């Protein structure tokens, strides 16, 4: 029988995590496997709260484990992946579910069926929609030097010229291969993980699933978007991204690591110069009243300072961060 290990990462959202787990239990009905809730070192009583609720509700297939430190999204999920099934057996698939995401009753089975029918698919993502039923953009191209310029300039002529590089993709009506998909609801083939490894834990937050999908693609595995699998998602419940007044340092760390690691130093520098050039165009247009300002306050200066430091001295590993930067989810 096909087995699935579902991993839900909690950081200081215990009530919401329990709602996510409850939805996952319903969606795992008829599927062999376990659900693991990983507390990402919340240090606020979340772990005990969740453990007590799981025991009181008699959720026999749900385990709660402690990460021991908050290493971010990838590291926390890796704790659950490494824990595996309670029986010690190897699962066929690992399903990642954000703590603020709630799968429809058939959402997990749809992904399993797709993976079973498509052995070349290593990862599969769901159709993600808000609690208001509005679709979330979760289908993307891999970042590139060209996409850094287009995404920061955000002006019609540039976007038309570089349409082949635009990262966010229109939401397909049918199952479609993508470069990468968001990790709010993500099915991963264990055979693939055995070959390429799980998340790179040097990413604290952002770019980690992009990196994983790129590694998978380079190893010959496909990433598919499966719209028949529907998952409601609140979005940014832990990161507060929608209310950012300043881009946090870990975002710059992850962005630099992604380009430096996967494309080399020259491309990393070129990508930074491309983004700064695009932002300069945007700032000029904003000053003229022709466009909204792109990015949080100080973003261009922070990018320049961060990447010059990274270029000259490197950056500290992103494996452990302060509680203020502790988060559990990646969303757009």
Backbone dihedral region for residue 116 (phi beyond 0: left; psi -120 to 50: alpha; all else: beta): alpha
The separation between CA 225 and the C-alpha centre of its own chain, rounded to angstroms, equals: 14
Average pLDDT over residues 6-12: 97
Whole-prediction pTM: 0.92
Tens of pLDDT, residues 121-174: 999 999 999 989 999 999 999 999 999 999 999 999 999 999 999 999 999 999
The pLDDT of 217-240, averaged and rounded, is 86
Give pLDDT, residue 245.
86
Segment 80-85 mean pLDDT: 98
Nearest to 32 by CA among 77, 70, 2: 2
Task: Identify the three-state secondary structure at position 155.
Answer: coil
* Mean pLDDT, residues 4-10: 98
DSSP string, 64-95: EEE-SS---HHHHHHHHHHH--TTSPPPSEEE
Give pLDDT tens digits for 290-305. 999 999 989 999 999 9
Contact yes or no for 7/97 (Cβ under 8 A):
yes
Using the predicted structure, report yes or no on whether residue 188 has a pLDDT greater than 50. Answer: yes
Query: Is the confidence at residue 326, as pLDDT, over 80?
Result: no
| Cβ pair 121, 192 in contact under 8 A | no
DSSP-H helix ranges across 247-298: 249-263, 265-287
> How far apart are the C-alpha atoms of 214 and 199, rounded to whole Å?
11
Choose the CATH number for 3-147+164-241 among 3.90.550.10, 3.40.430.10, 3.40.50.720, 1.10.10.60. 3.90.550.10
The Cα–Cα gap between 67 and 42 comes to 9
Phi, psi (degrees; rounded to nearest 5) at 177: -70, 135
Q: Where in the chain is the domain with CATH 3.90.550.10?
A: 3-147+164-241
């Amino acid at each position: 029988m096909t087995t699935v290990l579902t991993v839900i990462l909690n950081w200081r959202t215990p009530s919401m995590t329990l709602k996510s787990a409850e939805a996952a239990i319903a969606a795992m009905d008829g599927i062999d496997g376990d659900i693991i809730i990983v507390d990402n070192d919340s240090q606020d009583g979340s772990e005990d709260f969740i453990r007590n609720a799981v025991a009181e509700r008699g959720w026999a297939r749900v385990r709660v484990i402690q990460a021991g430190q908050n290493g971010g999204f990838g590291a926390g999920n890796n704790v659950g992946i490494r824990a595996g099934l309670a029986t010690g057996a190897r699962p066929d698939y690992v399903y990642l579910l954000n703590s603020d995401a709630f799968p429809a009753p058939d959402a997990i089975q749809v992904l399993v069926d797709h993976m079973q029918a498509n052995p070349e698919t290593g990862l599969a993502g769901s159709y993600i929609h808000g609690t208001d039923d509005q679709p979330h953009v979760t289908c993307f191209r891999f970042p590139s030097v060209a996409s850094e310029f287009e995404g920061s300039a955000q002006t019609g002529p540039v976007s038309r010229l570089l349409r082949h590089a635009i990262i966010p993709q229109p939401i397909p009506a049918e199952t479609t291969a993508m470069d990468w998909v968001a990790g709010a609801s993500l099915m991963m083939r264990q055979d693939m993980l055995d070959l390429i490894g799980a998340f790179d834990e040097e990413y604290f937050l952002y770019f980690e699933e992009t990196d994983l999908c790129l590694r998978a693609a380079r190893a010959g595995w496909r990433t598919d978007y499966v719209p028949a699998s529907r998952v409601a998602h609140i979005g940014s419940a832990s990161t507060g991204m929608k209310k950012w007044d300043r881009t946090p340092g870990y975002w710059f760390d992850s962005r630099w690591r992604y380009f430096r690691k996967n494309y080399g130093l020259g491309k990393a520098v070129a990508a930074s110069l491309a983004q700064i050039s695009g932002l300069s165009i945007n700032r000029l247009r904003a000053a003229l009243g022709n466009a909204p300002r792109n990015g949080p306050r100080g973003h261009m200066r922070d990018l320049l300072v961060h990447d010059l430091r990274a270029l000259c001295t490197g950056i500290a590993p992103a494996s452990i961060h302060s509680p203020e930067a502790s988060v559990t989810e990646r969303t757009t």
